[in-house]
Chain A
Amino acid sequence: NAGVMQNPRHLVRRRGQEARLRCSPMKGHSHVYWYRQLPEEGLKFMVYLQKENIIDESGMPKERFSAEFPKEGPSILRIQQVVRGDSAAYFCASSPPGGQYSGANVLTFGAGSRLTVL
């Protein structure tokens, strides 16, 4: 039973290019969360998605960042026109449906995608 799969593990982009990070949740999980970890800092919540719906994007920068979780396929975090300040590790986590009622109130994290902007 594969865990949360993220790819690519490492991505290098030049300023102005686009970065696309993919996340496949654990089997049976329909809730996906994206977090960003800046160097020497903790993880900051970015966005929470269910299939075809963005539920909470309060942590997403207003410009250049977008996320989707289509009916089929992985969740995608897209960063347009990257800048050096976007260099970070981006972690995806998933959880099963049901939220607080399922009792499974634990997020399972992927290994992360490390973006370096030159």
Chain B
Amino acid sequence: GDSVTQMEGPVTLSEEAFLTINCTYTATGYPSLFWYVQYPGEGLQLLLKATKADDKGSNKGFEATYRKETTSFHLEKGSVQVSDSAVYFCALSDDSGGYQKVTFGTGTKLQVIP
């Protein structure tokens, strides 16, 4: 079945540092890929997405590129802020069944310190 593997956390960075959170996936079809963010005590919010190979998703300074050859979708940000502290989930969506069945990674907790 489909699966998503992302790097273990927590990741602790100083403000303005460069962020990379690795994510790889296995899927039988041609999934869409997502990064969701979860702030403390809240639900998941979509951060960015990419629907086909070589697409780059970007939002709020975050970006990730759909790499089919390495089955990866790493999240990057050039300069993190304290407000970016949250848990980040990589996910894939297989809609081959006609609906969105989303498989999530286990999440990576990011702590940004001033």
Which residues of A line the B interface, CB within 8 A?
4, 6, 31, 33, 35, 41-45, 48, 55-56, 91, 93, 95, 99-100, 105-112
Task: Write out the residue numbers on chain B whose beta carbons fall within 8 Å of the beta carbon of A109.
Answer: 36, 43-45
Which residues of B line the A interface, CB within 8 A?
32, 34, 36, 42-46, 49, 51, 89, 93, 95-107
Contact A42 B100 (CB under 8 A): no
Q: Whole-angstrom distance between the alpha carbons of A106 and B57 in the complex?
A: 13
What's the count of A-B pairs with C-beta under 8 Å? 63
Q: Whole-angstrom distance between the alpha carbons of A91 and B36 in the complex?
A: 14
Q: Whole-angstrom distance between the alpha carbons of A115 and B44 in the complex?
A: 17
B27 to chain A, nearest CB (A): 14
Known: A105-B51, A105-B93. A99 touches B44 (CB 8 A): no
A67 to chain B, nearest CB (A): 15
10 contacts between A and B (CB under 8 A): A6-B43, A31-B99, A42-B104, A42-B106, A55-B99, A93-B102, A100-B96, A105-B93, A106-B46, A107-B100
Contact B49 A45 (CB under 8 A): no
Q: Whole-angstrom distance between the alpha carbons of A18 and B93 in the complex?
A: 32
A4 to chain B, nearest CB (A): 8
Contact B102 A45 (CB under 8 A): yes
Task: Write out the residue numbers on chain B whose beta carbons fall within 8 Å of the beta carbon of A41.
Answer: 106-107
A74 to chain B, nearest CB (A): 16
Q: Whole-angstrom distance between the alpha carbons of A42 and B38 in the complex?
A: 11
Task: Write out the residue numbers on chain A whose beta carbons fall within 8 Å of the beta carbon of B42.
Answer: 111-112
Task: Write out the residue numbers on chain B whose beta carbons fall within 8 Å of the beta carbon of A44.
Answer: 104
Contact B51 A43 (CB under 8 A): no
Task: Write out the residue numbers on chain A whose beta carbons fall within 8 Å of the beta carbon of B32.
Answer: 105
B19 to chain A, nearest CB (A): 19
Q: Whole-angstrom distance between the alpha carbons of A34 and B102 in the complex?
A: 11
Known: A105-B51, A105-B100. A100 touches B106 (CB 8 A): no
Known: A105-B51, A111-B42. A42 touches B99 (CB 8 A): no
